[in-house]
Amino acid sequence: GQQLNQSPQSMFIQEGEDVSMNCTSSSIFNTWLWYKQDPGEGPVLLIALYKAGELTSNGRLTAQFGITRKDSFLNISASIPSDVGIYFCAGQRTGNQFYFGTGTSLTVIP
Amino acid sequence: KAGVTQTPRYLIKTRGQQVTLSCSPISGHRSVSWYQQTPGQGLQFLFEYFSETQRNKGNFPGRFSGRQFSNSRSEMNVSTLELGDSALYLCASSSTAGDSPLHFGNGTRLTVT
């Protein structure tokens, strides 16, 4: 099935730094979601986006629905150790399945 | 509100056996989707059920099947297990079929030996 291109694949950053990651697709989506997954657990929903150009925040996290509707971006400001995990994007055309990105593994160095 | 509950958490089976995994969605959610997660392939969509009907199906062989009950609980079955079926199987529920976000359980870790 289709997988979204997510980059970077992994990141190693110092605590307090900002983080940016993005997700691109060859298809137009109506919905973009961002998830975080910790080891041994299921993905947890961070932010949901429903409109091109939409910018939504959840605490230190901010995500944007790209204007072309083929991409989305996630930013984390002032990273802390508990931000460690794998971040996934997911996109959907209404009524169809969600397609997931390949994940960005984030390591925060104290 | 209780989250998505998947049972069992861990399962070890032998090649050729069959297995059934269970998922209880968030109360009030009528859509249940199943995903297979492996390190090499990421999250791959298996199928989605809404009101006991399969609405979408991924590209998996017929050995993978599922069903949904009238209380929205869902099961998936894998017959004639192969070594490559070893994976984390994730169930996700949403309030309606459509663009409602998915809420995941913690998965069932299946190991096939």
pLDDT tens for the 110 residues of chain A, in order: 567 999 999 999 999 999 999 999 999 999 999 999 998 899 999 999 999 999 999 999 999 999 999 999 999 999 999 999 999 999 998 778 899 999 999 999 99
* pLDDT(B1) > 80: no
More confident residue, B95 or B9: B9
pLDDT at B111: 98
Residue B97: per-residue pLDDT: 59
Please tell me the predicted confidence (pLDDT) of residue B96. Answer: 76
Contact: B56, A30; criterion CB under 8 Å: no
Residue A6 tokens read as 């997510």
- What are the tens digits of pLDDT across the range B51-91? 999 988 999 999 999 999 999 999 999 999 999 999 999 99
Q: Does B80 touch chain A (CB under 8 A)?
A: no
- Nearest CB neighbour to B42, from listed A30, A40, A103: A103
Partners of A75 in beta bridges? A20, A62
Distance of residue B99 Cα from the nearest chain A Cα, in angstroms = 5
Quick check: B58 and A97 CB within 8 A? Answer: yes
Of A30, A45, A103, the CB nearest to B101: A45
pLDDT at residue number A55: 96
DSSP B107: -
Query: Cis peptide leading into B8, omega within 30 of 0?
Result: yes
How far, CA to CA in Å, does A77 sit from each of A45, A74, A81, A97, B56? 18, 10, 12, 31, 37
d(C-alpha A5, C-alpha B28), whole Å: 33
Question: B39 falls in which pLDDT band (50, 70, 90)?
Answer: confident
Beta strand B31-38 with A19-24: parallel, antiparallel or unpaired?
unpaired
**What is the pLDDT, as a whole number, of residue A51?**
93
pLDDT tens sequence across B19-30: 999 999 999 999
Q: Is B11 on the interface with A (CB under 8 A)?
A: no
Q: What is the model's pLDDT at position A96? A: 80
pLDDT value of residue B98: 62
Interface contact flag, A97 B56, Cβ < 8 Å: yes
CB of A76 within 8 Å of a chain B CB? The answer is no
pLDDT of residue B99: 66
